[in-house]
Amino acid sequence: MSGERATLELEHGGRVARVRLAAPKANILDRAMIADLDRVCDALAGSAGLVAIVVGAEGPNFSFGASVEEHLPDEIEAVLGELHALLGRFLELPAPTLAAIRGSCLGGGLELALVCDLILAEEGARLGQPEIRLGVFPPAASALLPVRVGAGPASELILTGAAWTGKRAAELGLVSRVTPDGTLEEALSGWLADDFLGRSPAALAHAVRATRRTLRQAVERELPLLERQYVDELMAEPDAVEGIRAFLEKRPPRWGARE
């Protein structure tokens, strides 16, 4: 199965599903990409016998994140709803999900990685939530990051817009395994062989249902509240629209407090 911006292939005798973001070099998580990934979830939902679902990307970067153009007021509510529904669907997939990250993994791209069970990253990868620089915040990351790494590190990433290297993200517990730059595929193959290909698909399916409980609660309970805060409250602030427009117009933002 393939789509314009995301592809799905079965490997290792149908035991491993390989999902690829396929719009390099940025692999923007726009509405077209979200729709393709939603179709991938449809194809995987009833799959039996899978021991792993690898979520990777073509090109030098995992994803630069969401389409900034789609975050203007006339589209943002629909875009957030579609993205957050997709994240929920990833938490229902029937086998462990492994995000394989090289290059930049930012914004919505990192939010997609956050709903994967395990993350493998190259040492020099960049994982970050830059939304604050545009005058907004990331609802899904705000719900998921505290579950994954705790409140302090989550606040650092969200409030400063900083990016962690793959090595730093591993030290903080977000990345499960880190590998030298240029060795992502080799490290992934070894991980699959060592820890997944010989396992029981049924046992893994039950194990991920169990281990995803806290992430699923964050998506089901906290994320809808954060989505409404973003759409109803944040987007009523002039700074939110100014930050997006300034980015698109390639100029410094003129925040209200500075005028």
Q: Give the best-scoring range by mean pLDDT among 67-71, 191-195, 255-259.
A: 191-195
Could you tell me if residue 68 is left (phi over 0), alpha (psi between -120 and 50 degrees) or otherwise beta? alpha
Catalytic residue chosen out of the listed positions 70, 122, 131, 227 = 131
* Residue 8: alpha-carbon gap to chain centroid: 17
pLDDT tier for residue 46 given thresholds of 50, 70 and 90: confident
Convert the pLDDT of each residue in 152-200 to its tens digit. 999 999 999 999 999 999 999 999 999 999 999 999 999 999 999 999 9
Convert the pLDDT of each residue in 206-252 to its tens digit. 999 999 999 999 999 999 999 999 999 999 999 999 999 999 999 99
Rounded-to-integer distance, Cα 251 and Cα 42, Å:
41
Strand 6-11 and strand 16-21: pairing?
Answer: antiparallel
Give the DSSP letter of residue 161.
-
Q: Which residues pair with 120 in a beta bridge?
A: 100, 177
State yes or no: is 131 an active-site residue.
yes
Q: Domains in the chain, ordered, with CATH?
A: 1-181+201-259 (3.90.226.10)
Q: Which residues pair with 204 in a beta bridge?
A: none
Instruction: Please report where in the chains the tokens 């449809």 appear, as a residue.
Output: 42
